[in-house]
Structure 1
Amino acid sequence: MANVTGTPGPNAQGESARTSGLDGTTTIGDGVVAKIAGIAAREVSGVYALGGGAARMVGSIRDALNSTDLTQGIAVEVGEKQVAVDVTIVAEYPVALQKVSDEVRTAVYQAMHDLVGMEVAEVNVTVNDVHLPSDDDQEGEQQEGRVR
């Protein structure tokens, strides 16, 4: 879990941006950090899905039940002051894989910095698969062929 001190960092003018005047710590659960990273990664254009094959299969079942796992495809390592994130994505075809990876890395880095308030040690992106638009067509045809 991440412990973030109760004293915010300096604002744009270099002044401390203390809002409540109270000291203390905020503890952020690893699951929360992973969820924020997952949301940030999903918002990147060119990302079709997160996670590997088995995780995506379970994820599609969860999606059908309206209980999407926003941490799917995300692994985090949270220290006291730093966080490291591993993201596994399925890219849409025909996006430039390096470009979408860099954009995912930037989005996750920004979310960790802005929303969690921690220094980012690294964001590793693994492109596990490429989604072809024809894959959706074939899945629909198979389902239509079985049910009559």
Structure 2
Amino acid sequence: MDNDQAIQPAGAASVPMMATGRTTISETAVAKVAAIAARKVPGVYALGSGTGRALGALRDVVGASDLAQGVHVEVGEIQVAVDVNLVAEYGYPLTALADQVRAAVFASVNALVGLEVIEVNVEINDVHVPGLNDPKSAEKPRPAAS
């Protein structure tokens, strides 16, 4: 291999190692990476606060979903801090869930964004109980007739 070329993934254009320039990664991009990682953790019902989820539902209706809902990031030149606000699924130990979300977000942001993750704060603001706080549905338990 020529010493002037960097190792590239298959299908990527070859870029000389001497190529210079600046890369800026937006807070929106980092927040989406973090949100996708958090949603993949079993026991995460939704991201965001009650108000944020209500606004997200309205955005979904008009086709403008916010994939980064419930995630706030602060991006520096080489570091990033992430705050995740979520609703847990009932039955999952909350501190273990927070630790799993923290690890997933840390790993994804570090690997995909390439910035040093200095902290991942997780706030669990609610617990979803299936059938209890769902929107009206046929599966919702009903009181027995007397």
Normalised-by-shorter TM-score class: 0.7 to 0.9
Structure 2 length as normaliser, TM-score? 0.78
Q: Which is strand-richer, 1 or 2?
A: 1
How high is the sequence identity, in percent, across the aligned residues?
52
Give RMSD over aligned pairs.
1.9
Which of 121, 124, 138 aligns to 2:121? It is 124
* Distance change >3 Å, CA 29–CA 137, structure 1 → 2: closer
* Distance change >3 Å, CA 43–CA 27, structure 1 → 2: same
Q: Which is helix-richer, 1 or 2?
A: 1
Structure 1 length as normaliser, TM-score? 0.77
Which of 85, 92, 96 aligns to 1:88? It is 85
User: Could you tell me how far apart the structure 2 residues matched to 1:47 and 1:75 are?
Assistant: 17
Q: Give structure 1 stretches of 5+ with no counterpart.
A: 1-15, 142-148
Q: Secondary structure at the match of 1:28?
A: coil
Q: Give structure 2 stretches of 5+ with no counterpart.
A: 9-14, 139-146
Q: Secondary structure at the match of 2:41?
A: coil
Which residue pairs with 2:47 in the alignment? 50
1:136 shift after superposition: 5.5
1:110 shift after superposition: 0.7
1:61 shift after superposition: 2.2
1:71 shift after superposition: 1.2
1:1-148 maps to which residues of 2 (within 5 A)? 18-19=7-8, 20-21=15-16, 22-135=19-132, 139-140=136-137
Between the two proteins, the alignment pairs up a number of residues equal to 126
